[in-house]
Amino acid sequence: MAEEKKDEKKIIIDEDWKKNAQKEKEVLVAKEEAEKEKAPKAKAEKAARPPLPKGDFAAIISMLVTQTLFALGVIQVEGQKKQPDLELARYHIDMLETIAEKTKGNLTAEEKEVLDNMLNELRMTYVKLTG
């Protein structure tokens, strides 16, 4: 019998451990409740955004033109004064030129006119800044 008691494992729980475990549990519950409160706000913010435009050729051109204008410093974030990044601007212009070259003969008259006009405007702005 003495040997049997020797092999038995005893669990000793002190009161400090219980208090700490309870505090941790309360903190987790509070975090979960805070997350639940934030969830409806996040959904409402997503719902407030207007629908995205149709993904088409004009959208691709517009996106690259906007990036070029940012790189040239023509468009800036309010409150931030940023120097033009001419290397990046030249890269975006080169990308637009590649699109023009690769789509030659496959664009509508309107798409071709928009692309050509945008390229001409960007090139002129680039030359003014580097000239």
Pair 125, 64 in one domain: yes
Q: Do 43 and 91 belong to one domain?
A: no
What domain range is 98 assigned to? 57-130
Q: For residue 68, tell me if it sits in a domain.
A: yes
| pLDDT digit string, tens, across residues 45-90 | 667 888 888 889 999 999 999 999 999 999 888 888 889 999 999 9
Q: For the whole model, what pTM was predicted? A: 0.61
Q: What are phi and psi of 11, to 5 degrees?
A: -105, 125
CA distances from 2 to 5, 6, 91 (A): 5, 6, 84
Residue predicted with more confidence, 21 or 13: 21
pLDDT score recorded for residue 7: 64
Look at the chain and report how many structural domains it folds into.
Answer: 2
Does some domain include residue 7? no
**Together in a domain, 106 and 67:** yes
Residues 98 and 41 in one domain: no
Regarding whether 61 and 109 lie in a shared domain, the answer is yes
pLDDT for residue 15:
67
Residue 21 lies in a domain: yes
Q: Which residue has the higher pLDDT, 18 or 129?
A: 129
Confidence of residue 38 (pLDDT cuts 50, 70, 90): confident
Sign of CA dihedral 63, 68, 69, 71: positive
Rounded CA-CA distance 54/90 in Å is 27
Domain contains 101: yes
Distance separating alpha carbons of residues 15 and 22, to the nearest angstrom: 11
